[in-house]
Each structure stands twice: as structure tokens, then as C-alpha cells.
Amino acid sequence: MKKQIPLSELERRINSLRTKMEKLCPDWEMIAIFSNINLYYFTGTVQDGMLLIPRNDDAVFWVRRSYERALDESLFTRIKPMTSYREAAASMKKFPETVYMETEIVPLALYQRFQKYFPFTHVKSVDKYIAGVRAIKSSFELSLMVQAGSIHQRTLEQYVPQLLKEGISEVDLATELYSIMVTEGHHGVARFGAFGAEIVLGLVCFGDSSIYPTYFDVPGGNYGSCPAVPLLGNRYRKLKKGDLVFIDIGCGVSGYHTDKTMTYMFGKSLSQEAISAHKQCVDIQNRIAEMLKPGAVPAQIYKNTINNLSPEFLENFMGYGNRRSKFLGHGIGLLIDELPVIAEGFTEPIEEGMVFAIEPKKGIKNIGMVGTENTFIVTPNGGLCITGDNPGLIPVY
């Protein structure tokens, strides 16, 4: 019943982090990890606890709750029960002066409580180093993402055209899709890392719902369930003939996600303007995919792509109106929004085993968002698509 992460995989991950820290952070003495996702990555289980990685000693996974379940699920070799930070602190031979923490995730008060018992004097961010290690997927991880991509492809390319019926609401389509994907093997949640980002499924939009503004930095939009829950889809927006349907959702297997966007023309064909903008987005995706080889530089891919586009095409590209997202794709794995990003500032060459979602999209006034998104593995032959090859704007008449 349990799909465990092999011990060799856990050891590789923690060793990669140690190697990176040795190279980039000569002052490092200890790393303390508290977040669900990083605990899962390094130990293979999601528990309330902390993973302490001292530079000159073995890492220890202190588990507040549940110690029993941690032992059931994790092959990590040093798991200890914890009732308080005080208890964990008492086992330390020597306190470090500097602790590297997940400063983008750990709340200020949790940091303060931890620091009370581990009296270090400096805190530094470990976020980007862990992100760097997580960016390069092992074959174990890639195999899970390939499974997610296959569910994603079946759902969006085969099932959705059968589900689109006049009068169905956005939210009803969203819950139907959710059930189908879970039945097919989706793990049941789409995880984002950015502070405040919260999602169950993704964007399920009819017509201009997909160009309505959202609070998180994505090209598409969504009316959402209500102002309190700007997620999922709207119960009052019903599908009607002539609608563009835009679906941008996450899918995952055993924690690992793929990201895919698919578009449909319901009832009749869209305008030539929309179709032509869509085709250009698909071409852009395919050209970027060809560039996803080890050694390519994300910032360069971004610049070359944007510089090749006309000022007219750039209008409403990657977001409607003034809401243009300044990226063309993003790393993906345990979270949907991982590093690196295909954007300015990302000057480190990409490596084999990285995975990117590439998502050129363009808003069309009164119609909605056209364009595409698929998930690609970086290989020496360019990006290998794992979420299907349908170019989108699938006619459903």
C-alpha cells in the first residue's frame, strides 16, 4: 500500500544539498527544515517535525507527530520522537552560530520559538539551495512525473471534449474533472509554494473568465467560486455556444506534478485573430521546447523569444492588459511553481533532468485566453514533452 522513496534516493538528495552548501556557503554549520514539502523530499514522509542537518554530523529527523507514521512511511535512518524543541536542543553537542532555514516558508513566530531553544545568532536562507537540488530530478522522480503527464493528457485531450455540454457551469466541470483525474491516479491536490497561493485544481474558464485578473502571477485568469474563494470555477458562468474553453490545471502522482493547459472551441469556430494568435503561441512553445537542452540559459531563452515577437503580438501576451507575467515557463516537481524560471535573471545554465512547464498564452479581447502549456523534460535532444501533443483549440461541436 505504501509507495516509499528508496533510501538510496533519500541519501542522494541530502548529499546533493551538502555538496551544494560546501560549494556555495563556506560558513554553513546547520540546516533546519520545517516545511511539509521539503520534509517529504528529504525523508519520504509528511509529518509535523524538523529535519536538522549539521555540517559535521548525521542528519536527524525529529518528529512531533506522528512518530509512528514516520517510521511506517520513511526509510530515513535517524528518526527520533520529539515533544519539544527543548528536548531536541538538549541532544546537541554544540550550537551553531548560523542556521540556514526555509525563510520563505517558516513563519516568524515559528522561527522565534525555534531560536529560543537553539540560540544561534544568524539565520540565512536555505530556500534557493534546496530549490537548486530539487530542480534536477532523478529517474525515480521523472517516472512519477511521466505518470502524472499521462493522466493529464488523457483527461484534457480525450475526456474533456466529452464533458463539454451547453449549460454546464465552470465549477461543475471543475469538480467532474477533479473526480476523473483522481480516479485515473492524480494524488488529489495541486501544490504551489508562493506565499498565499492556494489551489485545489487550477483554472477552469469559459469565455472571458480566463482574462479576469487573479491575485497570483499566472497568465490566465478566473472568476472563481466567490470573492472569498477565488479558485476552482464559477457556478453562475454556464457554457454556451461560441465560448472559448480554457483549462489550466495541475496533476500529480505521489507528490510530483505536471502542468498543462488545453483550449477548446465550443459550438463554433473562434475568429481568425484568435486562431492565429493561438497557433503562434503553440509555435513559441515548440521553439522553446527545442531549446531545452543542457547548457541553455533560461534568461537567454526568454530574451530571444520575446525579442522575436512583434509589439502587436506582445500586447496581452502572457496576461491580459497590464497583468503581463514576466516569464514563459517555470520549473515543476513537488510544487507547480519551482525554480528555475524561464525569465530574466535566471542565468545559470539548465541541466539534464530538469523539468519545465512552458506556457505561452495570449489574451483576446471579449474572447479569453488562447495558447498552450505542456511539461517537458530537459534532454540532450531538447525538451521531451510528457503531457501530450494536441495543439489545442480542440473543436467541440
Residues 296-325 that bind a copy of itself (CB under 8 A): 321, 323
Q: Tell me if 255 contacts a copy of itself by CB under 8 A.
A: yes
Q: Tell me if 217 contacts a copy of itself by CB under 8 A.
A: yes
Residues 25-44 that bind a copy of itself (CB under 8 A): 34-36, 40, 44
- Of the two residues 30 and 171, which places its CB atom closer to a copy of itself in the complex? 171
Count of CB atoms situated within 10 Å of the CB of 212? 21
Residues 324-363 that bind a copy of itself (CB under 8 A): 334
Q: Which of 68, 98, 93 is nearest to 80 (CA)?
A: 68
Given 212, 246, 327, 376, the residue binding a copy of itself (CB under 8 A): 212
Give least dist CB 297 to a copy of itself, A: 26
> What CA–CA distance (Å, rounded) separates 380 from 397?
40
Give least dist CB 166 to a copy of itself, A: 18
- Of the two residues 254 and 375, which places its CB atom closer to a copy of itself in the complex? 254
Q: Tell me if 162 contacts a copy of itself by CB under 8 A.
A: no
Given 10, 47, 336, 392, the residue binding a copy of itself (CB under 8 A): 47
Q: Tell me if 48 contacts a copy of itself by CB under 8 A.
A: yes
Given 153, 234, 280, 372, the residue binding a copy of itself (CB under 8 A): 234
> What CA–CA distance (Å, rounded) separates 119 from 98?
10
Burial letters 339-354, b for 16+ CB under 10 A, else e:
bbbbbeebeeebeebb
Q: Tell me if 171 contacts a copy of itself by CB under 8 A.
A: yes
Cα distance from N-terminal residue to C-terminal residue, the chain = 43
Q: Tell me if 7 contacts a copy of itself by CB under 8 A.
A: no
The three cell numbers locating residue 292: 531545452
**166-to-99, 275, 331 alpha-carbon distances in Å:** 57, 22, 36
Give the interface segment with a copy of itself, choosing from 159-167, 196-204, 294-302, 381-389 (CB under 8 A): 196-204
> What CA–CA distance (Å, rounded) separates 223 from 209?
6
> What CA–CA distance (Å, rounded) separates 44 from 63?
13
Count of CB atoms situated within 10 Å of the CB of 397? 9
Q: Which of 85, 112, 96 is nearest to 56 (CA)?
A: 96
Q: Tell me if 207 contacts a copy of itself by CB under 8 A.
A: no
